[in-house]
Amino acid sequence: MLKFVKGHMESITGIEIYPLISLLIFFIFFVTLFYWVFTAKKDYINTVSNLPLDNQNDTLS
């Protein structure tokens, strides 16, 4: 089965660009994510991290 898929993929012209595009998208996404994590304000991180523990907004009727 894998030989059939590999043989079929090799016959498609221009298919070698798709792995490069997916790698580029992956790399750009994670570089942007790391940049956001390192530049996020400490107050925002503390506020968001305490949200699950904040029971004042829960309304139990």
The amino acid occupying position 42 is K
pLDDT score recorded for residue 8? 80
Q: What is the pLDDT of residues 6-47, one digit of tens each?
A: 778 788 888 889 989 999 999 999 999 999 999 999 998 888
- pLDDT confidence of 61, banded at 50, 70, 90? very low
Q: Is the pLDDT of residue 50 over 80?
A: yes
pTM exceeds 0.85? no
Token pair recorded at residue 57: 């907004």
Rounded to whole angstroms, what are the CA distances from 17 to 12, 21, 34, 52, 54? 11, 6, 26, 44, 48
* Cα separation, 24 vs 16, whole angstroms: 13
pLDDT at 5 over 80: no
DSSP SS3 for 50: coil
Residue 60 has pLDDT above 60, yes or no: no
